[in-house]
């Protein structure tokens, strides 16, 4: 099972189990203590938090997980208030039975919003990732264009240099012939003027 599937399974099972236990409390099933909602809800929210906080990814998924944790805290709040109202309707004599679901509601809400917000803040917002993606695309396009232009420029220089080299090689016999002619003319005029 992937991390995501595990997270969602724990999210739904924990919320459903808490609701089920809350209903058992309302109907005064004797093996469920009112403080059990506090333990179950707190464990559920903390479990979701610890399952998410140690993952290395920074993505939209972290924001979603943070929202799920906040929602879990809120759902536990609603479950706690439902149980408290259900208990008040039947028996207000035992105030302890009323305070346990209410404290469960408030503590799980606090934990859910606090820890969920923390997880969400670790995520990378879609706008930020879109900006990075656009910047990377532009940088890649500029780099490719510069690389292509540099290759064309270098190729042009190489062609020009090769052409110049070829022409200079073809001029070598002409220059040598010219030098020979100049030397011959020099020798000829030296003979003429010496006589």
Q: Domain extents for the chain?
A: 3-124, 126-195
Q: What is the pLDDT of residue 56?
A: 64
Which residues in the chain land under pLDDT 50?
none
37 Cβ partners below 8 Å, 6+ apart?
18, 21, 22, 25, 76, 79, 80, 83, 100, 101, 104
The structure's pTM equals: 0.53
Q: What is the pLDDT of residue 195?
A: 65
Cα–Cα distance for residue pair 121/155, rounded to 1 Å: 51
* Contact of 41 with 108, CB cutoff 8 Å: yes
Q: What is the pLDDT of residue 115?
A: 74
Cα–Cα distance for residue pair 145/163, rounded to 1 Å: 27
Q: What is the pLDDT of residue 127?
A: 58
Q: What is the pLDDT of residue 68?
A: 83
Residues 26-63 have pLDDT tens digits of 777 767 777 787 788 888 888 888 888 777 666 667 77
């Amino acid at each position: 099972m992937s991390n995501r599937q595990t997270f969602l399974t724990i999210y739904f099972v924990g919320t459903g189990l808490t609701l089920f236990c809350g209903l058992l409390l309302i109907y005064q099933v004797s093996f469920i203590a009112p403080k059990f909602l506090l333990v179950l809800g707190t464990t559920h929210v903390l479990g979701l938090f610890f399952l998410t906080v140690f993952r290395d990814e920074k993505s939209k998924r972290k924001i979603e997980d943070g929202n799920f944790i906040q929602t879990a805290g809120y759902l536990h709040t609603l479950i706690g208030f439902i149980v408290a109202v259900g208990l008040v309707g039947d028996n207000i004599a035992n105030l302890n039975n009323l305070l346990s679901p209410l404290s469960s509601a408030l503590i799980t809400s606090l934990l859910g919003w606090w820890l969920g917000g923390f997880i969400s803040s670790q995520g990378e917002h879609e706008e930020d990732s879109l900006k990075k993606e656009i910047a990377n695309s532009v940088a890649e396009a500029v780099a490719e264009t510069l690389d292509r232009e540099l290759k064309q420029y270098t190729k042009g220089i190489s062609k020009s240099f090769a052409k110049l080299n070829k022409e200079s090689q073809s001029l070598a016999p002409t220059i040598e012939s010219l030098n020979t002619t100049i030397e011959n003319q020099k020798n000829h005029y030296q003979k003429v003027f010496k006589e």
